[in-house]
Amino acid sequence: MKFSKLIISSLFVLSFGTATAQLAHPHFLSLNLGTNIPLGDYSTIDSLSSAGANPGVYYGFEGAAYFSKLFGIGVNIGAFNNSVDDNGIVDQLKRDAQYKDGTFDVSSQNWTNGYIMLGPYFSFGSKKFIVDLKVMGGIINSERPFVNINSNDDDYSFNSSAVYSTSFGVNYGMHLRIQLKSKLALRINGEGMLSTQEFVEKISEISQNGIVQPKIERTVERDISALNLGIGLIINL
CATH number at residue 187: 2.40.160.20
> Which DSSP state fits 2?
H
Within 13 Å and on the Cβ side, how many CA atoms surround 150? Answer: 4
CB 167 within 8 A of CB 193: no
Angle (nearest 5°) at CA 86 between 215 and 44 = 85
Highest-confidence segment of 5-19, 83-97, 211-225? 211-225
Indicate the SS3 state at residue 9: helix
How many structural domains does the chain have?
1
Task: Give the CA diameter of the chain.
Answer: 78
pLDDT digits (tens, 9 = 90+) for 94-152: 776 566 667 778 888 899 999 999 999 999 998 899 999 999 999 999 998 888 888 76
- CA triple 112-37-197, angle to 5 deg: 45
Q: Name residue 70's amino acid.
A: L
Give the angle subtended at the CA of 69 by the CAs of 183 and 34, to the nearest 5°.
Answer: 55
Q: What is the pLDDT of residues 172-202, one digit of tens each?
A: 999 999 999 888 999 999 999 999 999 888 8
**19 DSSP assignment:** H
Q: How many CA atoms lie within 13 A of 66 on its CB side?
A: 20
Task: Show the domain range for 68.
Answer: 2-236
pLDDT at residue 154, rounded to an integer: 67
For residue 51, give the nearest of 178, 193, 220 by alpha carbon: 220
**What's the length of the chain?**
237
pTM: 0.81
pLDDT at residue 52, as a whole number: 84
Coil, strand or helix at 196: strand
